[in-house]
Amino acid sequence: MKELNISDKLPRVEGIELIDTHCHLDISPLERDVDKIIKNASYSGVMRMITIGIDLMSSVAAIELASNYDQVYAAIGVHPHDASTFSPRLADELVSMAQNPKVVAWGEIGLDYAKNYSARPVQHDAFDEQLELAIQLNLPVIIHDREAHEDIFDILSLKKGRIKGVIHCFSGNKEWAKKFLDLDFYISFTGVITFKNASSLREVVKYCPLDRIMVETDSPFLAPVPVRGKVNQPAYVYFVAQKVSELKGCSLKEVAQCTTQNAKDLFGL
């Protein structure tokens, strides 16, 4: 297991405000020193973050973290890997948890055809039921999409106008980006856009308008260059925003302003 090195290439940022719209503060090793992680984020201009639930326990943990830190908000839900655990009883528990004012989204939910830890029909049922719950609660959704663009698009299309949200850690091409943008969804990018072999994804960044983009770390996973191979943390969303700035040919300040406003608009921050 990687150790958390809190001093690795921590960027010093002043005069901008970033929001890490997707991190997992309850997952090791981040959960070992959340105080330091929050301090690092502030040092690097990351003033708010959303920690994500992937099952009942992590959703409980997300709410506890959000309750303990002003800068942290929570999303709750059942990840497609755990779709087989979704039940009416679990749904009722999550709906009750959603009443907490620090809960700003339902997710991450979706389909994962790369791993198929839960059978695809089971994933579909859990995904659709959670979308309907989010609609009832007027919560935006955070979508996990791994090699399932077509099915996710088809399901969301049936709910167009009733649901809003973001495609987290976007992995499709420009054509799929256009389809999801046409559904009025946001597109969120991670440190993957800094990887050497991600030229196709960088073209998607260039294509997407700034007013539909958000940035995230998905930490502790997917650390961006120049800290690839290290444990990721919310402070490093700076490097994602920096790469977006480079690809869009605009200032980091403009990227920060736009992506932060997008996050505020979607999640009501």
- Find tokens 């996710």 and name the residue: 152
- The DSSP result for 203-237, as a single string, is HHHHHS-GGGEEE---BTS-PPTTSTTSPP-GGGH
Domain 18-267 bears CATH identifier 3.40.50.300: no
Quote the CA–CA distance of 69 and 232 in Å, as a whole number.
19
Residue 1 pLDDT exceeds 50: no
* Cα–Cα distances in angstroms (integers) from residue 257 to residues 15, 242, 252, in the given order: 11, 13, 9
CB 77 within 8 A of CB 107: yes
- % pLDDT > 90, the chain: 93
Spacing of C-alpha 7 from chain mean position: 24
| Residue 2 pLDDT grade (very low, low, confident, very high; cuts 50, 70, 90) | low
> Mean pLDDT for the chain?
95
pLDDT for 13: 80
Residue 109 pLDDT exceeds 70: yes
Residue 112 pLDDT exceeds 50: yes
pLDDT for 260: 98
pLDDT for 92: 98
pLDDT tens-digit map of 146-155: 999 999 999 9
Q: What mean pLDDT is predicted for residues 205-232? A: 96
pLDDT for 14: 82
pLDDT for 98: 98
Residue 6 pLDDT exceeds 60: no
Q: What mean pLDDT is predicted for residues 234-252? A: 97
- The reported pTM is 0.95
Q: What mean pLDDT is predicted for residues 236-243? A: 97
pLDDT tens-digit map of 40-84: 999 999 999 999 999 999 999 999 999 999 999 999 999 999 999
- Cis ω for the linkage preceding 88 (within 30 of 0): no
Provide CB contacts within 8 A for 154, sequence distance 6+.
none
CB atoms within 10 A of CB 249: 7
